[in-house]
Amino acid sequence: MVYSCYTIDPDFDEIAFDDDCAIAGIASRYLDTIQYSGNYAVALGWLSGHVSDLVALMDHVEDHAQETGIKSYHGAMLDLLDNNEGYVQQRFFELWDLVQNDPYALVRGCENQTPTVNLLDWQDLLTFTPELAIVNYLNSFSPPWKIQSINDAYGRFANIDEYRVKINQMPKKPNGQTYTDTELVEHIRLTWNDHVNDDAIYTPLNLLIDGPIWNSSNPVKARIEIEITGPDDGAVVCAQKETNFWVFSTIKGPDTGTHPVSGNRQFGIKTNAQGEKFFYTKGVDRADNWFNDYVYEFIFHFADKQWRSMQDGVEAFINNHQGSSTKLEPVRSTPNWGFVKNALKGQSPITCIPKH
């Protein structure tokens, strides 16, 4: 099997690394980082005299998520097999093939599991890519910030969810007028920390630069730092704003490092075909290192707790302001790693991944 700059033998016993391929990949990324200065001659001169340095830097280049993922999976497999806890090597090969052939394998579940989520309900977020103007804006900082794109992450889609609050009656503003959908979305956006628990605090990354953007009627490009209790801090950028919703996309940069997952999350108000109205957040997450307990601890526990607290906060705000609302049970699709680990010890081939 050949994946980018790595060649793995059929038994996963050995990984061969193609230096020329790696040099080309790093060179390309180096050129990308200086494209806004326009000084390609300097860049090319530097590259020609530092080939060995480029090879040495390979393991430290975060953009090579594919190679990192292969090494991580290979290492995790060997560690588990060495622990002599009953794991079967062939099951690891089957699991690898499954997620390579189906990027949604971790969230699709098995056919006999009900209810099954309809991936089309998240298609807008699964395929969402921030506009080039946002990418260019993030790159204009020194050091630059980068979109942690859901399409670039090597790991498989690890989580799909939606958390809703059904709005039976819209709340009233202090002047006695009823909130419109747009007004309620804007109020919740601008007072976000009032509606979630304090396990994560959302603030403009730079109060002078991002603060005015975020507090305006067009918050696109605003970088938001998430100060997280327990896990490392993260950051997102407001990548889209429409009348009744906004979208956050994960970013990485010098102040907050890399977010544990790559993803897009939408917040807003929507009305279904039956005329029922909901405030909601829905998201899709993809892990750079999908066989990682830390990532799934973040997804399973911290994020779930955060969005459930949002349901509590929005419900309370509406009900306390002459409205009526009811939080609904979340819709989530995530792999059940307890079942996966049991399957890796089993005698039956792995053909699907049980989910929560």
Number of other residues whose CB lies within 10 A of the CB of residue 24: 13
Burial status of residue 172 (CB atoms within 10 A of its CB: 0-12, 13-18, 19 or more)? middle
Dist CA 134 CA 221 (whole Å):
6
Dist CA 30 CA 171 (whole Å):
52
Dist CA 224 CA 205 (whole Å):
5
Are 86 and 345 a contacting pair, CB within 8 Å?
A: yes
Q: Using CA atoms in the order 46, 48, 50, 52, what is the torsion angle rounded to 10 degrees?
A: 160
Residue 122 pLDDT level (bands cut at 50, 70, 90): confident
Complete domains list, the chain, with CATH:
2-90 (no CATH), 122-334 (3.30.530.20)
Q: Which residues pair with 279 in a beta bridge?
A: 165, 269
Helix (H, G, I), strand (E, B) or coil at 290: coil
pLDDT tens by residue, 299-341:
667 888 999 999 999 999 999 999 999 999 998 887 666 677 7
pLDDT tens by residue, 162-177:
999 999 999 999 999 9
pLDDT of 206 strictly over 80: yes
Assigned token pair, 59: 């393991």
H or E segment and range at residue 75: helix 65-82
Interval 11-32 mean pLDDT: 47
Please state which of the ranges 70-74, 134-138, 186-190, 211-215 shows the lowest mean pLDDT.
70-74
Return the exposure string of 318-352: e unless at least 16 CB atoms fall within 10 Å of the residue's CB, then b: bbebebebebeeebbbbbbbeebeebbeeeeebee
Dist CA 197 CA 171 (whole Å):
21
Rounded to two decimals, what is the model's pTM? 0.71
The runs of H, that is alpha helices, within 102-131 are 105-108, 123-126
Helix (H, G, I), strand (E, B) or coil at 344: helix
Interval 61-82 mean pLDDT: 58
Burial status of residue 235 (CB atoms within 10 A of its CB: 0-12, 13-18, 19 or more)? buried
pLDDT tens by residue, 230-253:
656 789 999 999 999 999 999 998
Assigned token pair, 321: 């302001």
